[in-house]
Structure 1
Amino acid sequence: MTQAVWEQGYTQNRELSWLQFNARVLAEAEDDAVPLLERLKFLSIFTSNLDEFFMIRVGSLCDMAAVDPAHIDNKSGMTAKEQLRRIYAAVEPLYVRRDTAFFDVEQRLRAEGLCRLAIADLTPGEQKYIRQYFKNIIAPVLSPQIVDAHHPFPHLEGKVLHIAALLGHKKNELLGLLPVPGSLPALVFLPEGKGRYVPIETILYEYADHVFSMYDVLEKTVFCITRNADINPDDETFGADEEDFRRRMEKLLRRRRRMAVVRVELNRPISDHFAGYFRTRFDVTNHQIFLSRVSPLKLPYAFSLGERLPEKQRAALSDPPFTPQQPAMLPAGQSLLKTALRHDVLLSYPYESMEPFLQMIREAANDPAVLSIRITIYRLASKAKLVEYLCAAAENGKDVMVLIELRARFDEQNNIDWSERLEEAGCKIIYGFEEYKVHSKICLITRRDRGGVRHITQVGTGNYNEKTAAQYTDVSLITADESIGADAGAFFTNMALGNLEGQYERLLVAPNTFKQRVLALMDEQIALGSDGYILLKFNSLTDIDVIEKLRQASCAGVKVEMIVRGICCLKPGVAGHTENISVTSIVGRFLEHSRIFVFGRGSSERMYISSADLMTRNTERRVEIACPIDSPEVRARLHDILYAMQRDTVKARVLQPDGSYRKKPAEPEPVCAQELLMRQAVQLSAQQPAAPAPAQGGLRGMLHRLFRQTEP
C-alpha cells in the first residue's frame, strides 16, 4: 500500500513552519549584535506577526474544526483540531522567550534613559502628576461597565486593551470592564526626565479601584482578545441589487469586528476562578489563554520610542542609516521611460530608490505621446504619489485603467478609499474576480512611436507601496520588449473581460499557466539528472505538487538550492527523498520579499521574477505573473542578489531534516547579504554616470576581495 506523503518524512505542517519563521524574527530581538532599538522593533514585529497569525490561520483552523472536523492536512496528516493543539503548545514557549527578550531590552534601555515605570516606581511628585493626568485627561473619556443581570456583556473590539476587574458587592460577584481609550496616547511621559514614561494601561490598572470604588476589587488584569478575521467575500450571498463589490467589502469589514474570539491575552496571572469568566464569556479553553508576564500586550511605540533620545545617542542604538540609491542601470538625470526604450532596466528595492519608477508614471501622465496606462494594485501606502500621478494622467486625457484588489488582507479600507479617489479622477476601476485575488504586479504604458505604438512594461515582485519599498527587498523590471508588452496588453484585456483562461507567449500567469510551466521547467532539469540545477528565492512553499516535483528533482540528482524566508513545508536532506535540496532562510534588517526563479546554468539558464510564492493560494487561487529575464545585465544583477543570499553567514539559518533551523558557521569571515548589497548599491551609485548597466559579477568581486586568502 502506497504511503501517504506525510508518512514519508519529508514534509511538515504549514502552521508550525510559520511559527518557526516568527521564532527567527524573535531571534533577532534576542541577538546582542542587533542594535538595541532595532531589537525593540523586532519584538513589535514578532507581536504583530503573531496577532495576524491568530486572526487568520488559527481563525481558519477553528472554522475548519467546526465545519469539517475529519479534514486532514496533506503535509502532516493532522486534523484541524490536532493542528490547533500543536499550535497552542508551540506558541506558549514563544511568550516566555518574548518576555525574556523584552526584559533584557528594557533593562538596557533603562541604562540609556528610556524607563518604563510602574506607579510604585514614581517619585511622590511624579505620582501627583499621574493622579492629575488621570483626573483631567483620562477620566473624562472612560467608559467603564459592569456585567450583571441588568448590564449585558458588551461587544469588545479585537486587539483593544481592557482592564477586567472581578468585583464583590453585597455577597455577590460581578465583572467590571474598562476599555483603554484609543484616543489617548499609549505612553504618558513624565515632566522630569525626557525618557521616563508610564503606559496608559498601567495607569488604568492602578486606578481601576478608584473607577469601581463602590465595589470590592477582588482581582484585576489587563487583557485583550484576538478575533477570527478570516473572512471571505465569496462565501457571502448578496441580493441582486447589491451596489458593487466595494460596498460588499465595507460590509464584510464591519462583520470582521464581531467574529469569534480565538485568543485571550493577559498581562499577569489570575485565579482559575477569574479565568472562568474569560472562558465562559469568550467561549475559549485554557489553551487559548496566554500570559505575558513582562512584555506589554501591544507594542505600538516600538518604532517611535527612540525619538525621545538625543540624535547621537539614538543613532548609536539603531542600524546605520541607509538611503536608497540611484539605480545602477539608470544614469542620474536620465528618464526611466526613455532609457527603458533603449534597454531593460532593473530596480532593486530598498537598495535602490523607487522614485525613478514614480517619476516614470508622472512623466507618462504628462507625455503627449502616451496613450494609456494600465496597472494592478494590491497594497498602497496611506499617502501615495502613485495615485496622484495616475489621477493626473486620467485628468490629462490618458486612458487609465486600474485593477485594484479590495481583498488585500487588512488593507481593504485603504484600497476602498483609493479606488474612490481614482474613480473620481476618471480612471477606469475594476476589482478582479469573485474567487481569485489579483496579486500580480504589472504596469503597462502604451506610447505612440513613429506611426505605431510601443509598450513599456514593468513587472515586479512587490507592491507599488512607497513606504514598504524602503523596507522590503523587491525587484522591478522595466522593459520595452514587444513580446512581453503584447502579453501585458492581452493580460489587461483579459482582466477587464473576466477571462482567466488567456494564453500568453512569454509571461507565466496564474492560475492558468504559471504552475504547469514551473513544473515543466523543473522537469527539464530532472531530465538532465546530476547536470540539472534549480535555484529559487521566494517567501513560502506549501504547494504539494511543487514539493513533489522538487523531491523528484532531488532523487534524479538535480542540485536544488532554495532561499525561503518563511514557511517551508518541504524538509531537505531527508534520506531517499530530498538529499540534494538545501533550504536557507534570511531574516534581517529588511524583509526579504523578492521572488527569483532560476532553472539550469550558463547559456541554457532560464530566469524569471514573479509576484508569486510557491503556495497553493498563489499557484491556484490568485492571479499572479512571472516574467522571463532576457537581458544579460539584468541577469547579472539578479545573480548578485542570489550570490549574496547564498553566502550569508550572519542572518542565514539553514533548515535541517528534522524541521529545525541552525545558523551557518561564520567562516572564513562573517557575511551579511543585506549589508553587502547596501555596499554594492552605494558603490554603483558613486560610479554614476557610468555605463547604464553594471559589470557582470561585480558583487562576486567584492566577496573575492574579502576572501582572497581562502577562496579561489
Structure 2
Amino acid sequence: MSAAELSLDTSFTTNRELSWLKFNDRVLQVSDDSAVPLLERLKFVAIFASNLDEFFMIRVGSLFDLSLVDEGHIDNKSGMTVKEQLREIFKALPPLYRKKDALFKSLESQLIHHGIVRLGMDDLDGDEEKFIGNYFERDIFPVLSPQVVDTHHPFPHIENKALNVAVMLKSKDESRFGIIPVPKMLQRIIFLNSSLTRYILVEDIILKYAEKIFEMYDVEEKCVISVTRNADINPDDETYDFEEDFRHHMKKILKKRARLSAVRLEVSDERATALTSYLSQRLTIHKTQIFHSVSPLELSYVYALEDRLPDAAKKAVTYVPYIPQYPAGFNPDESMMKQAMAKDIMLSYPYESMEPFLHLVKEAAADPTVISIKITLYRLDKKSRLTKYLIDAAENNKDVTVIMELRARFDEQNNIEWAERLEEAGCKVIYGFMGYKVHSKVCLITRHDKGRLQYITQIGTGNYNEKTAKLYADFSLITASDAIGSDANSFFKNMLISNLEGHYNHLLVAPTWLKSTILSLIDGEIEKAGSGRPCGIIIKMNSLTDRDTLDKLSEASCAGVKIQLIIRGICCIVPGIVGKTENITVTSIVGRFLEHARVYCFGSGPGMKMYIASADLMTRNTERRIEVACPVYDKNIKNRLLNILQVQLADNVKSWKLGPDGDYKLSVYDGEQISSQELFMKEAVRAAENASPPSHGSARQRPGRFKALVQHVLPRKDDEDKE
C-alpha cells in the first residue's frame, strides 16, 4: 500500500512488529518475577532469546525483502514505511538486550546458591583447568575446522544461528580474519563436578584456545559470534515444476533457507571492534544490526540443567510438576466412542489430558464400524502416538486421509518425515493448496452402524502435538453432532478437490467465510446496541492484526458495545481512545503455560453465539490460510468456556492491561489474588479427585463445580447469574 492509497485512521492502531516486541518484553519480565522459581525464570530468558531469533528470521527478514521490491509500501496500522519500521525496530532492541543481559546475570548469581554454576575459563581451579585442557585435546581439537580468509581461502558461508569463534589475526604486519565453527556434534555443556552443576560451555573453551588453534599467528581480537539469516521463504513464491514432488521441493527450500542474507550479527565482546567492522562489511549489514550480548548467544542449553540437579535443589528452583488430569466423568476403561456419542466433550489443555482424544482415535483404528478417519495435521510430536494410530487404522483397511501441511514454519522436516511414513503405511496424504497453508485442526471419524452413517468430529484450537498439549493452553471439542459432522465431511471433500468456496451450515471456514461472518457478527452487536438490547463481545486469541477487523471493532466500540479482548501476543488496536476505542479493554496473560486458545463470543445470556477456532484474527489467517471455527452448542460447555474467559479477565497476577498510551502494565491485585492458570490447575486436580466413580452423569455435573469455583473468585449479580 502506497502513501497515496493510505486513507486509514491510524489514531487507534499500532504497528504489529513493535507490538510483538512489547509481547516479548512481557515474556522477559517473567524472569524478574520473584514468585517464579529461579531456573524457570532462566528458561524465560531463553524463551525470550528464541522468540527474538524467530522474529529476526521471519519478520525482520520479510521487511528487508519488502524494502527491495516495494520501498514505498506503507504499513496500514501505523502509516510507517518499511524503512521507518526497521528503524523503530532497531531502536527498540538495544534496551531489550541490556535488560536480558542484566536479568541473566542476576539469575545466574542467585542459582549459584543452588549449585548451578556456569564458569568461564578463568574461573577454573587447577584440577578443572587440567581436566578441560585434556578434554580439549582429546574431544574438541580433532574435530575443529578452522579457516583463515586470504587470497586462496574465500570468506566462508556462516550458517544461520550457528555458533562460531571469530578471530582477527596478524602475521608479518598483515591482518587476516579467521573463523572456527563450533561443531554441532560436540556436547554443548561440559560438566565439571559430578555432585554440583558446575559447567562450562564448549564455545568458551574454543575461544580460550584460539591462540593454540592459530598458533602461527598473533591473535589480536577474538569473540563468539552468531549470524541470523532471513528465513522467510514462502514456497508458493518459488518457481518450480508442477510435476515435481512437493516433498522434494520442500527439502530444497529448507536447504536454501540456511543461505539467505544476514539480518543480524551477535557478538560476545563489544571490544572486538575490528572484527565487527570486518564482519559488517562482509555480511553487508549496518551497524544497527550488530548486537553485543553478555549472556551466551544461544540459550537452549538451560533446559538441560534441570536433569543434573539433586531432588532438593530441583524442588527449590523449578515449578512443582503438573500432570494433565484425565477429565472427570470420562472412564478410560470404557469405549471412548460410546462416550463421545452420548454427549459433547470439551478438553482443556494442559489442565486436562489429551488422552481421551488419543484413545478415541486408537479405538476408531480398530473398530469394525469405522470406515474412515480424516484429519488435518500442522505440527506433530517427533514421537507422535496419534500418527501411529492413523497408521494402524490404514493397516486395518480404514480409509485414512491426512491433509499434511509441509510448510509449518520450522517444523517442515518433521512433517516431511511423518508424511513419508504415513504414505508408506497406506494413508492418503495430500499437501494442501498452492498459496494457502492448511492451519485448521479438524478430525472426522465416520462410522457405518446399523445401516446409517454416524460422525464423530473433533475440532480444536491447537495442534495435534502430544508434547505441546502439556504446555499450551488450548481447547478441543469432540461432538457426535450430525450437523457438525456433515459440515466436516463437506470440508474434507472440498479440500480434496481444491474447493475453497464450499458452503457450510455451521462451520466458519477461511479464507471464504470466516472473516465475513465475524464482521457480520460484530455488526449484529452494533445493531443490538443501537436498539438498546444487551450486547457484548469477548474474543480470546494470540494476535489481532487484521485491518478490517480493527475498524469494525472500533465502530462497535463507538456504538456502545462492550468489547473484552484477551490477546497474548500482537495487538494492533489501542484501547481506551476517546471516540475510537473507549469501550474496548485488552488483557494479555503470560504465565507458566502458553495461552494459545481462540474463542469468539458475541452477545450475552442464552443467545450468546460462541465459537472455538484455529484462527487468530490476522489477515494471513483469515485470507491466506485454511482455518476452521466451530460453534459451541452444548449449554454446559458453553457456560464452562465463558467462565474460563471471565476468570482470565479477572486475573490480577499474571495479566497485563494495555493502556491508551500503547504500553502494557502488569495488573496489581488488591485483596484476593486470582491467577487463572493456577486456578485451572487446582480445579482440574480437584475435579479428577472428586470423580469417583466416573460416569456420564458426573461429567454433566462438572461445569457446575467449575462454575462454583469461578463464582468464589468472581462474585456475580443475580441477574447476570441467571443469564
Where on the TM-score scale, by shorter chain, does this alignment land: which range?
A: over 0.9
**How big is each residue's C-alpha offset from its partner over 1:647-672, in whole Å with a ceiling of 9 and x where there is no partner?**
10010000011110012220221111
**How big is each residue's C-alpha offset from its partner over 1:462-505, in whole Å with a ceiling of 9 and x where there is no partner?**
00000000000000000010011000000000000011010000
Give the Å deviation of 1:337.
Answer: 1.5
Alignment match, 2:344:
344
- Contact 1:328/1:694 (<8 A) preserved: no
- Give the Cα separation in 2 of the matches to 1:548 and 1:708: 33
* Alignment of 1:516 onto 2:516: yes
Match of 1:230 among 232, 242, 249: 232
Give the 3-state SS of the residue equivalent to 2:303 in structure 1.
Answer: coil
Give the Å deviation of 1:329.
Answer: 4.9
**How big is each residue's C-alpha offset from its partner over 1:324-383, in whole Å with a ceiling of 9 and x where there is no partner?**
001135245333211111110001100000011111111000000000000000000111
* Alignment of 1:210 onto 2:231: no
**How big is each residue's C-alpha offset from its partner over 1:535-585, in whole Å with a ceiling of 9 and x where there is no partner?**
000000000000011001100000000000000000000011000000000
* Alignment of 1:390 onto 2:397: no
Give the Å deviation of 1:709.
Answer: 13
Give the Å deviation of 1:33.
Answer: 1.4
- Give the Cα separation in 2 of the matches to 1:457 and 1:648: 32
Task: Report 1:664-679 matches (<5 A).
Answer: 664-679=667-682
Q: What amino acid maps onto 1:541 in structure 2?
A: L
- Give the Cα separation in 1 of the matches to 2:521 and 2:400: 35
Give the Å deviation of 1:708.
Answer: 7.6
- Contact 1:221/1:270 (<8 A) preserved: no
**How big is each residue's C-alpha offset from its partner over 1:685-705, in whole Å with a ceiling of 9 and x where there is no partner?**
112125122344533422444
- Contact 2:655/2:667 (<8 A) preserved: yes
Alignment match, 2:377:
377
Q: Which has the larger displacement, 391-400 or 310-319?
A: 310-319
Alignment match, 2:178:
176
Alignment match, 2:139:
137
Alignment match, 1:54:
56
Q: What amino acid maps onto 1:317 in structure 2?
A: V
Alignment match, 1:288:
289
- Contact 2:167/2:222 (<8 A) preserved: yes
**How big is each residue's C-alpha offset from its partner over 1:415-453, in whole Å with a ceiling of 9 and x where there is no partner?**
000000000000000000010000000000000122111
Match of 2:593 among 576, 590, 597: 590
Alignment match, 2:89:
87
How does the TM-score come out when normalised to structure 2? 0.96
- Contact 2:375/2:443 (<8 A) preserved: yes
Q: What amino acid maps onto 1:316 in structure 2?
A: A
Give the Å deviation of 1:639.
Answer: 1.7
- Contact 2:221/2:274 (<8 A) preserved: no
Alignment match, 1:699:
706
Give the Å deviation of 1:236.
Answer: 1.1
Q: What amino acid maps onto 2:594 in structure 1?
A: L
- Contact 2:419/2:429 (<8 A) preserved: yes
Q: Which has the larger displacement, 651-660 or 681-690?
A: 681-690
Give the Å deviation of 1:8.
Answer: 4.3
Give the Å deviation of 1:5.
Answer: 6.3
**How big is each residue's C-alpha offset from its partner over 1:287-330, in whole Å with a ceiling of 9 and x where there is no partner?**
0000102x111112211202221112201211111110011352
Alignment match, 2:98:
96
Give the Å deviation of 1:192.
Answer: 6.0
* Alignment of 1:458 onto 2:458: yes
Give the 3-state SS of the residue equivalent to 1:346 in structure 2.
Answer: strand
- Contact 1:643/1:700 (<8 A) preserved: no
Q: Which has the larger displacement, 628-637 or 523-532?
A: 523-532
Alignment match, 1:30:
32
- Contact 1:5/1:11 (<8 A) preserved: no
Alignment match, 2:686:
683
- Give the Cα separation in 1 of the matches to 2:563 and 2:184: 50
- Contact 1:584/1:655 (<8 A) preserved: yes
- Give the Cα separation in 2 of the matches to 1:466 and 1:332: 17
Give the Å deviation of 1:614.
Answer: 0.3
**How big is each residue's C-alpha offset from its partner over 1:261-301, in whole Å with a ceiling of 9 and x where there is no partner?**
000001111354332211111100000000102x1111122
Structure 1: stretches of 5+ with no match in the other structure:
none
* Alignment of 1:220 onto 2:227: no
Q: Which has the larger displacement, 153-162 or 322-331?
A: 322-331
The change in CA–CA distance for 1:8 and 1:241 in structure 2 (over 3 A counts) is closer
Q: Give the superposed CA RMSD.
A: 1.8
- Give the Cα separation in 2 of the matches to 1:422 and 1:695: 38
- Contact 2:457/2:485 (<8 A) preserved: yes
- Contact 1:328/1:693 (<8 A) preserved: no
- Give the Cα separation in 2 of the matches to 1:609 and 1:369: 29
How does the TM-score come out when normalised to structure 1? 0.97
Alignment match, 1:446:
446
- Contact 2:164/2:225 (<8 A) preserved: yes
Give the 3-state SS of the residue equivalent to 1:469 in structure 2.
Answer: helix
**How big is each residue's C-alpha offset from its partner over 1:89-140, in whole Å with a ceiling of 9 and x where there is no partner?**
1111110000010011100111111111111111111111111000000001
Q: What amino acid maps onto 2:268 in structure 1?
A: N
**How big is each residue's C-alpha offset from its partner over 1:607-635, in whole Å with a ceiling of 9 and x where there is no partner?**
00000000000000000000000001111
Q: What amino acid maps onto 2:662 in structure 1?
A: G
Give the Å deviation of 1:706.
Answer: 5.2
Q: What amino acid maps onto 1:452 in structure 2?
A: R
- Give the Cα separation in 2 of the matches to 1:259 and 1:415: 22
Alignment match, 1:474:
474
- Contact 2:222/2:272 (<8 A) preserved: no
* Alignment of 1:528 onto 2:535: no
- Contact 1:372/1:398 (<8 A) preserved: yes
- Give the Cα separation in 1 of the matches to 2:490 and 2:350: 31
- Give the Cα separation in 1 of the matches to 2:410 and 2:272: 35
Give the 3-state SS of the residue equivalent to 1:426 in structure 2.
Answer: coil
Q: What amino acid maps onto 2:271 in structure 1?
A: I
Structure 2: stretches of 5+ with no match in the other structure:
none
- Contact 1:5/1:75 (<8 A) preserved: no
* Alignment of 1:250 onto 2:257: no
Identity of aligned residues (%): 52
**How big is each residue's C-alpha offset from its partner over 1:173-217, in whole Å with a ceiling of 9 and x where there is no partner?**
100100111101111111465311111111011001110110010
Q: Which has the larger displacement, 690-699 or 220-229?
A: 690-699
Q: What amino acid maps onto 1:490 in structure 2?
A: S
- Give the Cα separation in 2 of the matches to 1:355 and 1:348: 12
